Structure 1
């Protein structure tokens, strides 16, 4: 790695490396079929079923684009559609037990990845890195309407 690599490039390369290792681990655990935007949708729906428009708005994409992702997730048994008890015209999106199990595997990987970094670099460096990344995210979170957006890469 060049010493003068732009910070944005370095952040992107680091994320790409992390994501590649995560996807390899998930594939080894039986989840080789996840799409690049699935993680964003998992986080959106984990504790709060939403309709398609809400998902699209949170991902800052068109409903048609979100529908493509959701249809893929439904076909792969990660998301299911259910009628909204308050409005029969609305279908709510829920995570399936398969999606919840995948999330547990992924979250364990995240913790282990950070633990391995701490062992190699020292806990104080990893804590400082985390603080810097959290500040970068906080500085960029606010959108025009004040609602944080999740954006697929």
Structure 2
């Protein structure tokens, strides 16, 4: 009998991300953030840098303004993002993280660090560092092809 064929690389990445996402969602839910949508993380990171308007946010996310509006409306309704009138142009609404949004982002960032540390303790820091290099190279190649990559904050 031969050993089972390994998973395709893309499938393995997807399965690993699904496991990570499930653990992240559980951790956030335990802290009272059980209503975070799948696109919220990118918006959290962008708005953590500086408040912006919907058009700016949509451009940073690489999506249409109507698409970004749908995500923002959901985040506003759930108390993660606020809208305020721009001081220079009253027609423009500035988007910013609320205290709840900043708390959710802080919790998510802490989870990311704990998760990576736990993997390092299980597999070794060198293996995690090598994996990180591979993932960073893959992400960089996406950016070189004109794809969007969330900016670290």
The aligned residue for residue 60 of structure 2 is 58
TM score, norm. by length of structure 1: 0.89
* Equivalent of residue 86 in structure 1, options 85, 88, 91: 88
Residues 1:133 and 1:149: Cα distance change in structure 2 (over 3 Å): closer
| Structure 1 counterpart SS, 2:90 | strand
TM score, norm. by length of structure 2: 0.89
The total of aligned residue pairs comes to: 147
| Partners of 1:131 and 1:149 in 2: CA distance | 16
RMSD of aligned Cα (Å): 1.5
Q: Does 1:133 align with 2:135?
A: yes
| Structure 2 counterpart SS, 1:81 | strand
Q: Does 1:21 align with 2:15?
A: no
Instruction: Tell me which stretches of 4 or more aligned residues in structure 1 moved more than 2 Å.
Output: 147-150
Structure 1: gaps spanning 5 or more residues: none
The aligned residue for residue 101 of structure 1 is 103
User: Are 2:61 and 2:148, in contact at CA under 8 Å, matched by a contact in 1?
Assistant: no
| Partners of 2:22 and 2:60 in 1: CA distance | 24
| Structure 1 counterpart SS, 2:49 | coil
Instruction: Point out the more displaced range, 4-13 or 37-46.
Output: 4-13
